[in-house]
Amino acid sequence: MERVPYRSIPDMLRHSAAKFRALNAVQFRKNGQWVILSYAQFYDRALMVSRGLRKLGVKPGDRVAILSENRAGWIIADMGILCAGGVTVPIYATGTPDQVAYALSNCRVRIVFVSGRGQYRKLLQVRDSLPDLELVVSFERFLGEAALPVTTFYQLSEVDDPILDLERSEIESVMDSISPETPATIIYTSGTTGTPKGAILTHGNLVFDVWATHEKVGGVGQGDLLLSFLPLSHVFERSAGYYLPLSRGATIAFADSMEKISENMIELHPTIMVCVPRFFEKIYSRIYEAVHQLSLFKRKMFRHALSVGRRYVYARYIDRYVPLWLSFQHAVADRLVFSKLRRRFGDRLKFCASGGAPLDREINEFFWIIGVPVFEGYGLTETSPVLCSNSFDALRFGSVGTPLASTEIAIAEDGEVLARGPQVMAGYFRDEAATREVLKDGWFKTGDIGHMEEGFLYITDRKKDLIVTSGGKNIAPQPIENLLKRDKYISQAYVYGDKKPYLTALLVPTVERLLEFAQEKKIAYHDLEDLVVHQPVFELYRSRVEAVNNELAPYQTIKKFALLPRDFTMESGELTPTLKVKRQVISERYRDRIDRLYEGSDS
């Protein structure tokens, strides 16, 4: 791989602003209309933020936080902070006041950008624990309180006053002083277990990962439109869904909301999307539910098309040879079936990237079959994040791909995945003990269990998540949970069994399917809490679990289960912002139900 051409993120932005000056950089909805900023305009907006921060006394190395949902202001603020030599501290918009206070106090933030009054109120609730906080900058206008001063993003940026040549020169001089070793951001881990830690990522970490990821996957350039909807607070969206497209002359369009992603895809016709597995799981489930409603003839045609499509994908991308007869069959299947399914995505998608959690192999294959390639990759907050990825040139289903250039992967004696490369963090902020625990001789201990086959990395599970039964069996719960979630009646699944004689599960029904079943069986109920305890419902789920058990080894099977009346959510603290299950939270919250599943056992 050729040398990374940028020293820092601001250096990368300056190059893009000069090279792609008139191209569309950012697109967002305001008052019902789409607003577009060119690369030149976006760069100027970032410099305006930087000018405002400098006037407030922000110096290189100072930490400035962003507590906001996704919006154009988020990335303009981030670039403004970085151009001033500051360190961006992204805070999840779904965080509780106490979680927000922990991160802000731990890194001694003086200034916080917020989306509006809702996030400002969180800060007010914990004002006494934030002695370093001096000012809030809001993307939306509202009146603050004397205890915590507020200014607007507009006032800080002084948008009506163009950047003067002298101001530009002064800011760019600061940008020139930023080295690859300079900290760019402190990202607090989502904390599936224990207290969140602030991972320090340098400019060198980030620009390498952006450059090497594109060299690996390719396909991003002028004319591409990336639909952004994952939290920018997470490094996956920030690196792959924000920095990378801006380094290549592509356009970032912000989705109206999580609920309107389907509408936005049809309206905007994106070419690239960065997603988490839950996104694909839901679409997969909806497609199969729609197929279930088709006539017998059309269902058979659909299954035949999938069979042809699977052979074609393996021939083209694994074996690298497609017989003429298979090409013809695939062309027919694509015209009759797959092209209609792709319309749900706007009919222009070149590929999607999936990360944050394991993607079920069958679901991944399905999207490749219908002509929506999904590159499953692997990485962590501490690795900026990408370590490995699949691509058109190197693809193995079930794996997370091969390492990026200049990136080494090793497997420890206990199966833990170790990584070494330019994207590995500098350490944890103000936590030398935790840093020493995970960084040894240049190797980063990922905490994941995996193995290598023909250069491809396969992840089994999180080291801390492995279930060791009382019989001594080591079991990874995530593959079993993915099998369960593939069922149209199951929205979420949590498998338990550590130090127990057998596995049990907590299942969250797919509400729409369950209500249809209740109507069909004429079950009388008051609410979901009442419905999930009805015997016909229990028998339905017992049969679904037994079907999954048939695909598992005897020691992996689910012996008992309980139905929950509501889904796991971020708001309840049961999911991380990337929709990974917080196992410790769930096991503690549903302790009574889990214990009842083991009553009468020898545990």
At residue 77 the predicted structure's pLDDT band, cuts being 50, 70 and 90, is very high
Pairing of strands 386-389, 402-403: antiparallel
Residue 2 has a pLDDT of 57
Q: Are 594 and 541 in contact (CB under 8 A)?
A: no
pLDDT for 602 beyond 80: no
Q: Are 228 and 195 in contact (CB under 8 A)?
A: no
Q: Are 507 and 488 in contact (CB under 8 A)?
A: no
Q: Is 143 helix (H, G, I), strand (E, B) or coil?
A: coil
* Rounded CA separation 186/177 (Å): 20
Domains along the chain? Answer: 9-178+218-271 (3.40.50.12780), 275-347+349-463 (3.40.50.12780), 466-596 (3.30.300.30)
- 49 vs 554: which has the higher pLDDT: 49
* Rounded CA separation 546/548 (Å): 5
Q: What is the pLDDT of residues 378-403, one digit of tens each?
A: 999 999 999 999 999 999 999 999 99
Mean of pLDDT over the chain: 94
Residue 579 has a pLDDT of 74
Q: What is the pLDDT of residues 286-308, one digit of tens each?
A: 899 899 889 999 999 999 999 99
Predicted TM-score (pTM) of the model is 0.87
Q: What is the pLDDT of residues 506-544, one digit of tens each?
A: 999 999 899 999 999 999 888 899 999 999 999 999 999
List of residues 6+ apart from 239 with CB closer than 8 A: 206, 209, 210, 213, 384, 385, 386
* Rounded CA separation 136/50 (Å): 15
CA within 13 Å, CB half, 513: 19
Strands (E), 97-174: 111-114, 135-138, 150-152
* Rounded CA separation 547/500 (Å): 23
CB atoms within 10 A of CB 106: 19
Scan for tokens 């199966």, then name that residue. Answer: 415
Tokens of 589: 């919250």
Pick from 120-129, 233-242, 362-371, 564-573: least confident: 564-573
Per-residue b or e along 82-100, where b marks 16 or more CB atoms closer than 10 Å to that residue's CB? bbbbbbbbbbbbbbebebb
pLDDT for 437 beyond 80: yes
